[in-house]
Chain A
Amino acid sequence: MRKVYSRIEQIVGDVIMVEAEGIGNEELAAITTSRGVSLAQVIRLDRTRVYLQVFAGSRGVSTGDQVRFLGHRMRVPFTENLLGRIFDGSGRPRDNGPDLMENMIEIGGPSVNPAKRIIPTRMVRTGIPMIDVFNSLVVSQKLPIFSVAGEPYNELLARIAMQAEVDIIILGGMGLKHDDYLFFRDTLDDQGALSRSIFFIHTAADPTVECILIPDMSLAVAEQFALQGKEVLVLLTDMTNFSDSLKELAITMEQIPSNRGYPGDLYSQLARRYEKAVDFEGAGSITVLAVTTMPGDDVTHPIPDNTGYITEGQFYLRNGRIEPFGSLSRLKQNVNKATREDHRTIMNSMIQLYADYKETLEKQAMGFAMSRWDEKLLNYGRAFEEGMMSLKVNIPLEEALDRGWRILADVFEPEETGIRSGMISKFWPGGNGGREPERKAGDGSGDEGGEDAGGEEKKESADGETEKEKDSKENHKT
C-alpha cells in the first residue's frame, strides 16, 4: 500500500507541492478533496518537495487534503469496449457508462523509430475538390485546419471524418463548446459511425490541465488500435486551446516565455503529439486532422507558426472555403501521380489561373481598365469559386476533374489556359482539342514544374504529345 500524505505545503495556480520521498517523475497521485477525487501528475522533484499538477484544477483544494501516490504514470484503458464511449480529460466517463479499468496503457509513450517508418502513399478521398484535387490528403498525414474563430471548421472536420474510409474515429476535443460536442456526437450518430468512434472531450467549462491530456490519451488509444491493424483517424479540435493551456501551466511554473508568452518548448510539445501520425508497416495507421484557430487571423502567431513547421501542410479555411493559397499538402505528390493523368494538370492550371484572377480583382479595385482577358478571368474566378471552392460541393475526384475541364472550356480557348497540347487534345470538352498542336502555352510547363511534374510528363512538354498519350486518348472522353 502506498503512503498517503495529508499535508499540502503550497498551492500556486493548479500546481500543488507536498513533502514526500521515493516518488518518480511524472508519477500520478490521487487527491481527495471535498469535491471528490482528482488526479495529479508529478511535474518536478526538488529533494523532498514534490510538485504536482492537479488535473481538476486547484480550486477547492485544501492544505489538509489527502494525496495518495499511485506508482505509475497517466494511463487509459485500451479495449474494444472504448468504442462508442465518451470520456473527459482525466479519462472518466462522460456518458453515464461504466468506468473502464481493463488493460491500462500509459499515455505519451516513446516515438516510432524513423527507420521503421514507410513512405505514405494511400490517398484519403474526401469528396471535397479543394482537398482531393488541389491538396490531396494522405493516410497517416498530420494536417491542421488553420482558421479564424467562427468558421465552420468543426463541420469540415466532421465531414472529412464521415467520408474517410477508416475503421476507427477518435475525437479529441479541447476547450470544445458543449454545442460543438453535441454536434459531433449527433453527426456521427446520424451516420451510424458512433459505434466505431471514441470521444475524449474537454469542454470550455472543464479544468485547464485536463485539456493538456486530451491529445495524449486520444493518440495512445489510436496507437494501440493501429498496431492491431486498424486505420485510425484522430480529430483534434482545437489545438490552440491545448497550446494556451500549456502556456498557462508554464507561467504558473515561472518558466521564462520565449514568444508572446508561450513557452520555449511549444514546438517540441506540439511535435510530440503530431508525430504520432504514422503508417505502420504491416499494421494499421494513424491520420491526424486538427484544428488550429489563429488568434487575430495571424498566421505568424506562435501557435499556427509552430504548427506549420511540424505538420505536413495545412488547410486554410476562410470565408467558409478552403483557400488555394496558403493551403498545402506536403504529401500530395505521393498520391496524385497515380490517380488520373490529368490530375496534376488541372491542379496546376486552375490554381495558376485563379491567381491571375486574383490579380485582376486587385486591378479592378484600383480602377484600372479591364481588358477582354481580364473579363474572362473574372468569369473564370467566379465559376471556380462556385464549382470547386464552395464547401457545398461534394463530388468524387474524377467528377471534380471533369468539372474542372468544363469550367475552363466555358471561359477560355484551350491555348489560353497554358495547358500543353497533349492534355488538351485528350481532355478538352467538345472536341476543341488539338487545334493548335504546336502551341505549348506560355505558363504551362512552368507551373507544372515544381513538385508536380514527373520526369516523364516533363519530357513531353519538350516533345509534344507522346505515344502513350495518343494510345490512351479514348479512355478519358467525358
Chain B
Amino acid sequence: MSDREGRIVGVSGNMVVAEFSGDVMQNELAYAVSGKEELKAEVIRVRGNLVEMQVFESTDGLRVGDAIRFSGGLLSVSLGPGILAQVYDGLQNPLHLLAEEHGFFLKRGSYLTPLDEEKKWEFNPDIDTGSRVQGGDWIGWVQEGIFKHRIMVPFALDGDWKIKKIAEKGSYRVEDTVAELKNSRGDSRKVTLMQEWPVKIPITAYREKLRPKEPLITKIRIVDTITPIARGGTYCIPGPFGAGKTVLQQITSRHAEVDIVVIAACGERAGEVVETLREFPELEDPRTGRSLMERTIIICNTSSMPVAARESSVYTAVTIAEYYRQMGLNVLLLADSTSRWAQAMREMSGRLEEIPGEEAFPAYLESRIASFYERAGIVRLNDNSIGSITIGGTVSPAGGNFEEPVTQSTLKVVGAFLGLSRERSDARKYPSVDPLDSWSKYDSFIDSGQVQFARELLFRSSEIDQMMKVVGEEGTTLGDFVDYLKGDFIDDVYLQQNAYDKVEGATSAERQTHVFGVLVRILKSELKFEDKDDARHFFQEIRQDFRNWNYAEWETDEFKELEKKLLEKVSAKAEAGIGEESDEKSLQPN
C-alpha cells in the first residue's frame, strides 16, 4: 500500500481536501501530517483523484502540500479486557493516561493505546483443540473486575474454523496469542486477547435478534410504570435545556438493572462527566457491592472537544457496547446528547456543500439515526446465551420545540418517548417526564389495567385543570374537582420522585408494584367530601402520609406502620371502605 499517498490541496474548518494516487477506501482512516504531528482523519467523500476528509482535531497550521498518510483500515476501536471503568475520548484515547502525559490540557495528535499492553490477564481456556468455531464464539475467559470477560474468535472471521492450538491457563498480555485457528482452505489465524473492529459497522456475530419484551428496571417510578423501557429496546429523552435530561440519564446510569453501562457524553458539558467520573468510584452498586465505576465505561467528547470526533464518539460507544453484549451481558448505552452528534453531521455536510434538508441537516440524518438505534437489541448468541443492548438517547431540540428534525427522526425509530416538559421542570416536578405526552411501546411489569386507569385519570385531571382556568374553582362540580385532585395526587406521590434520597431515589420493581396497587385502590374508592375545601384538605393530608411512606425503607416496620396509617385515613373517608382491589391481598400490610 506504500504507493498510496496524498497531498493536501485545501483546508476549510475541520475538512481537508487532498489529491491522492492509488486507491482509497470510503471511511478509511488517514493521518494529516503537520510537522511532527499526525492528525487522525477519516475519508468521507472521494471524487476523481480528490479525497475529502474530516479531521478529528483542530486543523490550525495545516498547509497545502502537507502529506496525507492512509492507514489501510477503517476507524476502529480496540476491544479486549481493560475497557471497563475507563474514560475514553471519542477516538478511544484514554483520558486519564493522556492527563498523566500532558497535564491539564488535551494534546492534539497524541494517541495512546486504549488497552494496557503490559498488563497480564489470567486466561482460562474454555475449548479444546479440534473444536469447530465461528466468529464471536467464546474460546476462554479472563476475569475483568466482576465479569468473566470472554475471549472470542474475531468477529471478522468468515465461515467455519477449527481450533488448531489453544493456550494453557496462564497469564497473557492483550496482544499475546492464545489460540490458532485454521479453516478448510488452509488459512490460519491467530487469536489474541484483543481484536479491532470498525466503529461504523455493527457486530453481528449472533444467531438471531429477538423482540425486546422484558422490562429493564430503572427504579424510576414514572419510567417503569408509565413509559417503561425494555431490555434490548430503545428510548429517547427530548427536552429543552434545564428540563432534566442529564440528571435523568445520570440516575438511570446508577440504578438501572443491567450489567454494564456505557455513557456517551456527546458534545455537552465536561462538568457533567466529571460528576460521574469523580463520584462513581465512591458509589456502591447495590447489585454487586462493588463500586459503580466497575460496571461503567465513559466515552467522553464534550462540547469543546473536536467536532468530528464527536460524531465518531457515539459509534465508539455503541461498538464497545456490542462487544460486551457478545459476552452475554446486558448493556445499557446512554447517549447525551444525540442532537450534538446530529449537529456534527450537519457541520460536516455543510462543509461538503451537500444539499441541505430541514434546518440544514443533511438528507441522510434520518437514516443515520435509525441505523444507530438499530444497533440496540436483544440477541441469541452462537451458544444460545442471551445478550442485550438498550439505547437511551437525549435530544436537545432547538428552542425546546419537538417539531424539529432530530426529535422527529428519533421518534420514528424508538420504542419509548420520554418527553420532558419545561412546565414541569419550572414547577420543580422531577423527573419532568410529561406523563400525558410521553409513550412507550413496551410493557410495564405493573398490571396494564391499573396503568391504564391511572393514565385516564391523569388525562381527565388535566382537562379539568384547563377548564378551571376558564370557569374558576367555583364553576366546577365537586365530582370534577375531586378527579382533578386525584390526578394531582398520582403526580405528587408517585410520578415525582426525589432523586437525591437514598430510599426514595430508587424504587424496586417489587415495591413499585405494591405501592402502585395501593395507590390505585385509594383512587378507586368512593370518597365522600362535604365540599371542595374538605377534599383539598384530605388529599393534602394523605399526600403527606404517602410521601412519608415513600421515604420509609421497604418492608421495615416503619414502612408497614405508615401504610397502615395511610389506609386507615382513606378508609375513614370511603363510604364502602376501600375494598375494590382486583387481587385478594388484604388491605392492611401483614
Contact B398 A119 (CB under 8 A): no
With A110-B58, A119-B278 already in contact, the answer to whether A48 and B64 are too (CB < 8 A) is yes
Shortest Cβ gap from A305 to chain B (Å): 5
Closest partner residue, chain B, to A420 (CB atom): B544
9-residue interface stretch from B174-182, B298-306, B438-446, B452-460: B298-306
Which A residues are in CB contact (< 8 Å) with B270? 111-112, 114, 117, 275
Shortest Cβ gap from B525 to chain A (Å): 21
Shortest Cβ gap from A413 to chain B (Å): 15
Question: Is B60 part of the binding interface, using a Cβ–Cβ cutoff of 8 Å?
Answer: yes
Against A, the Cβ 8 Å flags (1 = close, 0 = not) of B545-569 are 0011001100000100010000000
Shortest Cβ gap from A349 to chain B (Å): 12
Contact A309 B300 (CB under 8 A): no
How many of B's residues come within 8 Å of A, CB to CB?
A: 92
Instruction: Kindly identify which residue among B240, B498, B502 contacts A449, using a CB–CB cutoff of 8 Å.
Output: B498
With A21-B64, A23-B63 already in contact, the answer to whether A446 and B492 are too (CB < 8 A) is yes
Against B, the Cβ 8 Å flags (1 = close, 0 = not) of A307-326 are 01110110000000000011
Which B residues are in CB contact (< 8 Å) with A459? 501, 551
How many angstroms from the CA of A443 to the CA of B500 in the assembled complex? 18
How many angstroms from the CA of A451 to the CA of B543 in the assembled complex? 20
Which A residues are in CB contact (< 8 Å) with B247? 451
How many angstroms from the CA of A464 to the CA of B430 in the assembled complex? 24
Which A residues are in CB contact (< 8 Å) with B562? 462
With A26-B60, A265-B347, A308-B241 already in contact, the answer to whether A44 and B11 are too (CB < 8 A) is yes
9-residue interface stretch from A91-99, A253-261, A385-393: A253-261
Contact B271 A450 (CB under 8 A): no
How many angstroms from the CA of A458 to the CA of B340 in the assembled complex? 36
Which B residues are in CB contact (< 8 Å) with A442? 540-541, 543-544
How many angstroms from the CA of A309 to the CA of B399 in the assembled complex? 10
Question: Is B48 part of the binding interface, using a Cβ–Cβ cutoff of 8 Å?
Answer: no
CB-contacts of A8-57 with B (<8 A): 21-27, 43-48
Contact B62 A267 (CB under 8 A): no
Contact A119 B504 (CB under 8 A): no
Which A residues are in CB contact (< 8 Å) with B498? 448-450, 453, 458
Question: Is B275 part of the binding interface, using a Cβ–Cβ cutoff of 8 Å?
Answer: yes
How many angstroms from the CA of A27 to the CA of B273 in the assembled complex? 33
Against B, the Cβ 8 Å flags (1 = close, 0 = not) of A117-135 are 1111000000000000000
Which A residues are in CB contact (< 8 Å) with B473? 368
CB-contacts of A431-478 with B (<8 A): 440-455, 458-459, 461-462
Question: Is A357 part of the binding interface, using a Cβ–Cβ cutoff of 8 Å?
Answer: no
Against B, the Cβ 8 Å flags (1 = close, 0 = not) of A277-308 are 00010000000000000000000111001001
How many angstroms from the CA of A177 to the CA of B541 in the assembled complex? 57
Shortest Cβ gap from A130 to chain B (Å): 16
Contact B501 A455 (CB under 8 A): yes
How many angstroms from the CA of A328 to the CA of B353 in the assembled complex? 39
Which B residues are in CB contact (< 8 Å) with A309? 241, 268, 396
Which secondary structure dominates chain B's binding surface? Answer: mixed
Question: Is A2 part of the binding interface, using a Cβ–Cβ cutoff of 8 Å?
Answer: no
Which A residues are in CB contact (< 8 Å) with B356? 256
Shortest Cβ gap from A345 to chain B (Å): 14
9-residue interface stretch from B92-100, B151-159, B186-194, B222-230: B92-100
Against A, the Cβ 8 Å flags (1 = close, 0 = not) of B1-14 are 00000001111110
Which B residues are in CB contact (< 8 Å) with A276? 304
Contact A116 B303 (CB under 8 A): no
Instruction: Kindly identify which residue among B87, B108, B360, B396 contacts A114, using a CB–CB cutoff of 8 Å.
Output: B87
Question: Is B61 part of the binding interface, using a Cβ–Cβ cutoff of 8 Å?
Answer: yes
Contact A110 B95 (CB under 8 A): no
Shortest Cβ gap from A133 to chain B (Å): 16
Closest partner residue, chain B, to A302 (CB atom): B398
Closest partner residue, chain A, to B105 (CB atom): A110
Question: Is B170 part of the binding interface, using a Cβ–Cβ cutoff of 8 Å?
Answer: no
Question: Is B103 part of the binding interface, using a Cβ–Cβ cutoff of 8 Å?
Answer: yes
Contact B99 A115 (CB under 8 A): yes
Contact A440 B87 (CB under 8 A): no
Contact B472 A25 (CB under 8 A): no
Contact A454 B105 (CB under 8 A): no
Question: Is B274 part of the binding interface, using a Cβ–Cβ cutoff of 8 Å?
Answer: yes
Which B residues are in CB contact (< 8 Å) with A48? 64
Instruction: Kindly identify which residue among A115, A256, A265 contacts B98, using a CB–CB cutoff of 8 Å.
Output: A115
With A47-B9, A450-B498, A451-B499 already in contact, the answer to whether A114 and B300 are too (CB < 8 A) is yes
With A312-B269, A462-B548 already in contact, the answer to whether A113 and B60 are too (CB < 8 A) is no
Closest partner residue, chain B, to A446 (CB atom): B492
Against A, the Cβ 8 Å flags (1 = close, 0 = not) of B461-491 are 0000000000011100000000000000000
Which B residues are in CB contact (< 8 Å) with A256? 350, 353, 356, 360
How many angstroms from the CA of A109 to the CA of B106 in the assembled complex? 10
Shortest Cβ gap from B354 to chain A (Å): 9
CB-contacts of B311-369 with A (<8 A): 340, 343, 346-347, 350, 353, 356, 359-361
Contact A25 B62 (CB under 8 A): yes
How many angstroms from the CA of A114 to the CA of B93 in the assembled complex? 12
Contact B60 A369 (CB under 8 A): no
Contact A313 B242 (CB under 8 A): yes
How many angstroms from the CA of A369 to the CA of B471 in the assembled complex? 12
Instruction: Kindly identify which residue among B302, B427, B544 contacts A441, using a CB–CB cutoff of 8 Å.
Output: B544
Which A residues are in CB contact (< 8 Å) with B578? none
Shortest Cβ gap from B220 to chain A (Å): 13
Shortest Cβ gap from B394 to chain A (Å): 11
Instruction: Kindly identify which residue among A22, A308, A444, A458 contacts B63, using a CB–CB cutoff of 8 Å.
Output: A22
How many angstroms from the CA of A381 to the CA of B304 in the assembled complex? 42
Contact B105 A119 (CB under 8 A): no
Which B residues are in CB contact (< 8 Å) with A117? 270-271, 274
Instruction: Kindly identify which residue among A27, A119, A271, A363 contacts B303, using a CB–CB cutoff of 8 Å.
Output: A271
Contact A115 B271 (CB under 8 A): no
Closest partner residue, chain A, to B35 (CB atom): A24
Question: Is A185 part of the binding interface, using a Cβ–Cβ cutoff of 8 Å?
Answer: no
Instruction: Kindly identify which residue among B106, B340, B547 contacts A446, using a CB–CB cutoff of 8 Å.
Output: B547
With A458-B501, A461-B551 already in contact, the answer to whether A258 and B346 are too (CB < 8 A) is yes
- Where the two chains meet, the residues of B that have a C-beta atom closer than 8 Å to any C-beta of A are 8-13, 17, 58-65, 87, 95-96, 98-99, 102-108, 240-242, 247, 265, 267-271, 273-275, 277-279, 300, 302-305, 307, 340, 343, 346-347, 350, 353, 356, 359-361, 396, 398-401, 426-428, 430, 472-474, 492, 496-505, 540-541, 543-544, 547-548, 551-552, 558, 562
Give me 15 A-to-B residue pairs in the complex whose CB atoms sit less than 8 angstroms apart, sorted by A's number: A24-B62, A25-B61, A27-B60, A46-B9, A47-B10, A111-B105, A115-B87, A117-B274, A256-B360, A258-B360, A265-B347, A271-B267, A275-B303, A305-B241, A442-B544
Closest 4 CB pairs of A and B: A300-B399, A271-B303, A275-B304, A449-B498
A-B contact sample (10 more), CB < 8 A, given A259-B360, A458-B500: A26-B60, A45-B64, A112-B105, A114-B274, A268-B343, A325-B426, A368-B474, A445-B551, A451-B430, A461-B547
